[in-house]
Amino acid sequence: MIVTVVGARPQFVKAAILSRALRDAGIEEIMIHTGQHYDEKMSNVFWQELGLPECTINLEGGSGSHGVQTARMIEKMEAFILSLNPAPRALLLYGDTNSTLAGSLVASKIQLPIIHVEAGLRSFNRSMPEEVNRIITDHLSSLLFCSSQESVNQLASEGITRGVFNTGDVMFDAIKTFTAEAERKIRIDTLLPFSERPFCLLTLHRPASTESDNNIKNMLKVIKDISMPFIWPVHPRLRSKIAQMDISGNIYTTDPFSYFEMLTVLKHCYKVFTDSGGLQKEAYWMKKPCITLRPETEWVETVHHGWNTVVDFDSEKISRAFAETVLPETWYSVYGDGNAAKIMADHIKDFLN
């Protein structure tokens, strides 16, 4: 039996796919929800859409500073795992959130092997909390599943070579699994507060983005000069800030999208503006040019031929990136063939045996 830790919406999507593969491989799984994302549209709706297994416990980690939130998760998670009988044989972690860090610290202290999905990613910017979380987790893990050879090479440069596998990306599995279902269930005209025509998708959620009024104002100034509507599902962290700003003209805000809603909007949009790591990949797989509102990206494979342009919040770079045309024939497949979950489950089964 293994324990899986999830807490944020990208982790829910990954777990929906890998949990199926674990069941098919005969591996028993207990799932912990840390409560890092607790808003209805950021959490519960994913269980309804994706058929996730019921969580055994919700730690109700909630909001707060990074230290407070992570400490709360660590205390509750350790107590729960130590109460399990029989004891689990491994802890499965996704990505680079505070939930991931809490899990890696708990497991390392109680001598529980760690399985890390999305290992080896680096932005080389340690001011990002996610960068610290992923480095610590990688160096504590026994099984490390990488989305690409680039991540395998990065781990090797840090001296990590045992238990490392290039499996491809489980989020590509999710795109292949759920896109058709999303199309059947969600109509694009129900999601847009304007008549359907070429439009862009905008998302922001990272503290480096959301805590800077200047960044947001620079971005909005450029976007308002673009003659195309933007749909902006607003992260709960930004609600109060956005309420005090002049969001008008071609910018339309809405509540966060469910996963199926996001897939539907992605399929129909013209370009994507985001600071999200996961959405950069999803835009690439959907063959939608992405403009990344960060100073760097860990998903370096998406940058080729202008499919992903890293602009930070520089007004001139944003304008140039929007104006550039991306040639469809330059697209090629990255991050595996959409069979990552089965590959991971097979490696986990071998590890446990």
Which residues carry out catalysis?
Answer: 205
CA distance 32 to 92: 10
Cβ proximity of 322 and 303 under 8 Å? no
Report residue 207 CA to chain centroid gap: 15
The C-alpha atoms of residue 266 and residue 171 are separated, in whole angstroms, by: 14
Q: List the one residue out of 54, 53, 93, 48 whose CA is nearest residue 73.
A: 93
Contact status, residue 251 vs residue 325, Cβ threshold 8 Å: no
Q: Which helix (H) or strand (E) element contains residue 233?
A: strand 230-233
User: Residue 243 corresponds to which tokens in the numbers above?
Assistant: 């309420």
The answer to whether the CB of 313 falls within 8 A of the CB of 295 is no
Return the H-helix or E-strand segment holding 216: helix 213-224
CA-based radius of gyration for the chain? 20
Contact 247, 253 (CB under 8 A): yes
Q: How many residues does the chain have?
A: 353
**The 2-6 sheet, strands edge to edge:** 57-58, 29-33, 2-6, 90-94, 114-117, 143-146, 164-166
Measuring CA to CA, how many Å separate 332 from each of 204, 220, 284? 27, 32, 9
